[in-house]
Structure 1
Amino acid sequence: MTYARLPKIALMSGVIAILVSCGPQAPLSQEERLEQEARAKGESGSSLRDLFAPKKDFGQLGAVNKYIWNASLEVLNFLPITNVDPFTGVITTGYGTPPGGGRAYRATIYVSDPALEARSLKVALATKSGPASASTARALEDAILTRARQLRARDSRF
């Protein structure tokens, strides 16, 4: 054997190894097949590790916090809803008068984060004559966040 044939032999050995690895797989046992089907469906068996794994946050609704989202809809139920997009976290309302109030308001709510925190909520409030005062918008944000915390506390009891 000469050294000139060595690269050809190495190349042929590599091609044969690749072709052999493309062969059929060994048949799966019944248990392995069931486990593979469960993984394909998104189901998985539980294990001891599941007890210590971090819990899912069920407060999320897509990219927004479900408690802030629902609290916004509950607190502003006196306003007619014109647009709702849970994927971007925007709720837009038309003009409406709060119970016991004389001035009509319009609101745009932006839920920007899945966390139940003040930074996750932005409220833009307007009257027919222009923007509402910052203190009114802040009071509305506080009311929404308070209601969101109440909803979360109610859910955590069960």
Structure 2
Amino acid sequence: MSILKTTAFGLSVIAVIGLSACGGSRGSVGSAGSGNVFGGGSGSKQQQAQGTRDTPPPEEKRETIWDLFKNVDDPNTTVEVNRYIWNASLDVLSFLPVQAADPFSGIIVTGYGRPPGGGAAYKATIYVRDPALDARSLSVALYTSGGRPASAEAVRKVEDAILTRARQLRIRDGKL
């Protein structure tokens, strides 16, 4: 009978040691070694804090699997777009029917339409990606009715028209 108790006690001690090594908590065997899923990683804390070219910057520590389901995003983070470029895009391409517009992400998707006095039908996707009134803030994709991309010259003319109108709107607001 005492052999069974000793064996059961020995197995339970081995099971507890094995389970504690698998946990990802601070100070455990798995937190300093490589391959820890929820934190840790290789390298010392000083190397992780400084960040090296070989290792990515340290991420938020996760203690349990349930930490994956917590909302840790900063609610004060906003995506900003330039309102003048946004409004100018809608003004310049007013002949195209708007299918989708998201002012928070800065994307405008239009359907096919013909420009006034023009013969070919076009479809456009506009992406305003920055709050600056700058050419780098605007990206236009223009497609013909056949689904092929429009010429680079046509895209450049549309971008120039949008940026010119955006500057006009900005100047008009400055005179208030």
Structure 1 partner of 2:82: 65
| Identical columns (%) | 67
Letter paired with 1:141: E
Q: Which has the higher contact order (CA 8 A, sep 6+)?
A: 1
Partners of 2:134 and 2:85 lie apart in 1 by: 9
User: Residue 135 of structure 1 aligns with which residue?
Assistant: 153
Aligned partner (choices 78, 82, 85) of residue 95 of structure 2 = 78
1:62·1:86 contact (CA, 8 Å) conserved in 2? no
What does the per-residue CA deviation read over 1:99-154, in whole Å, with 9 as the maximum and x for residues that have no partner? 00110000000000000000000000000221100110011000000000000000
TM-score computed with the length of structure 2 as normaliser: 0.55
In the alignment, is residue 119 of structure 1 matched against residue 120 of structure 2? no
Unaligned residue ranges in structure 2 (runs of 5+):
1-77
3-state DSSP class of the match of 1:103? coil
C-alpha separation in 1, matches of 2:118 and 2:79: 35
Aligned-partner Cα distance in 1 for 2:127–2:79? 14
Q: Does 1:102 align with 2:131?
A: no
C-alpha RMSD of the superposition: 1.2
- Structure 1: unaligned runs, 5 residues or longer: 1-60
Q: Is the 8 A contact 1:78 1:99 kept in 2?
A: yes
In 2, the alpha carbon distance for the partners of 1:84 and 1:91 equals: 4
Distance 2:87 2:145 in 1: 26
Q: If the length of structure 1 is used for normalisation, what is the TM-score?
A: 0.61
3-state SS of 2:140 partner: strand
More strand by share: 1
